[in-house]
Amino acid sequence: MSARLTLALNAGGLVLPDTGKIAVFHPRDAADLAELPKARLVVVQPFRPDYDALSAAGYDCRADGADLPPCAASLVFLPRAKALARALVAGAAACSDGLVIVDGAKTDGIDSILRDVKKRTTVSGPLSKAHGKLFWFDANAADWSDWAARPAQISEGFQTLPGVFSADGIDPASALLAAQLPAHLGGVVADLGAGWGFLSAQVLSRADVRALHLVEADQTALDCAAQNISDARAVFHWADATTWHPPEPVDCVVMNPPFHTDRRADPELGRAFIRAAARILTRSGQMWMVANRHLPYEALLEELFAKVVETGGDTRFKILHATRPTRRGR
Alpha helices in the chain (DSSP H): 2-11, 48-56, 82-95, 110-118, 172-180, 198-203, 219-228, 267-280, 298-304
The pLDDT score that the predictor gives to residue 193 is: 98
Over residues 12-39, the pLDDT tens digits come to: 799 999 999 999 999 988 888 988 999 9
Rounded mean pLDDT of 204-220? 97
Q: What is the DSSP letter of 57?
A: T
State residue 31's pLDDT score: 84
Report residue 3's pLDDT band, with 50, 70 and 90 as the boundaries.
confident
Mean pLDDT score, 216-240: 98
| Lowest-confidence segment of 110-114, 223-227, 323-327 by average pLDDT | 323-327
Question: Is residue 296 pLDDT above 70, yes or no?
Answer: yes
Q: What percent of the chain has pLDDT over 70?
A: 97
Helix (H, G, I), strand (E, B) or coil at 110: helix
Instruction: Quote the pLDDT of residue 259.
Output: 76
Let me know: does 1 contact 110? Beta carbons within 8 Å. no
d(CA 330, CA 312): 28
Question: Tell me: the pLDDT tens digits for 158-183?
Answer: 999 999 999 999 999 999 999 999 99
**What is the model's pTM?**
0.93
Instruction: Say which residue, 214 or 267, is predicted with more confidence.
Output: 214
What is the structure's pLDDT at 11? 83
Q: What are phi and psi of 193, to 5 degrees?
A: 70, 55
146-155 per-position pLDDT tens digit: 999 999 999 8
Q: Which residues contact 32 (CB under 8 A, 6 or more apart)?
A: 1, 2, 24, 77
Residue type, 13: G
Look at residues 121, 99, 102, 122 and name the one whose alpha carbon lies nearest to residue 113: 102
Identity (one letter) of the amino acid at 306? A
Read off the pLDDT band of 84 (50, 70, 90).
very high
The average confidence (pLDDT) of the chain is 94
What's the maximum distance between 2 C-alpha atoms anywhere in the chain? 65
The count of C-alpha atoms lying within 13 angstroms of the C-alpha of 190, restricted to the half-sphere facing its C-beta, is 31
- Residue 109, pLDDT above cutoff 80: yes
Name the pLDDT band for 264 (thresholds 50, 70, 90). Answer: low
Of 41-45, 64-68, 296-300, minimum mean pLDDT range:
64-68
**Looking at residue 311, what is its pLDDT?**
96
Domains located in the chain, CATH noted: 2-147 (3.40.50.150), 152-325 (3.40.50.150)
Distance CA 139, CA 168 (A): 29
> Dihedrals φ, ψ of 314, to 5°?
-150, -160
Contact 244, 277 (CB under 8 A): no
DSSP H/E element including 180: helix 172-180
Evaluate if residue 260 carries a pLDDT over 60: no
pLDDT of residue 329: 57
Amino acid at 318: K
Q: Helix-strand-coil percent breakdown of the chain, rounded to 5?
A: 30, 30, 35
The H or E element spanning position 206 is none
Q: 126: cis peptide before it, omega within 30°?
A: yes
Cβ atoms within 10 Å, residue 231: 12
- Tell how many helices (H) and how many strands (E) occur in the chain: 9, 18
**Is residue 135 within 8 Å of 8, Cβ to Cβ?**
no
**How much is the pLDDT for 28?**
84
The DSSP line for 256-267 is ----EETTEE-H
Provide the pLDDT confidence category of residue 210 given band limits of 50, 70 and 90: very high
Residue 290 has pLDDT above 70, yes or no: yes
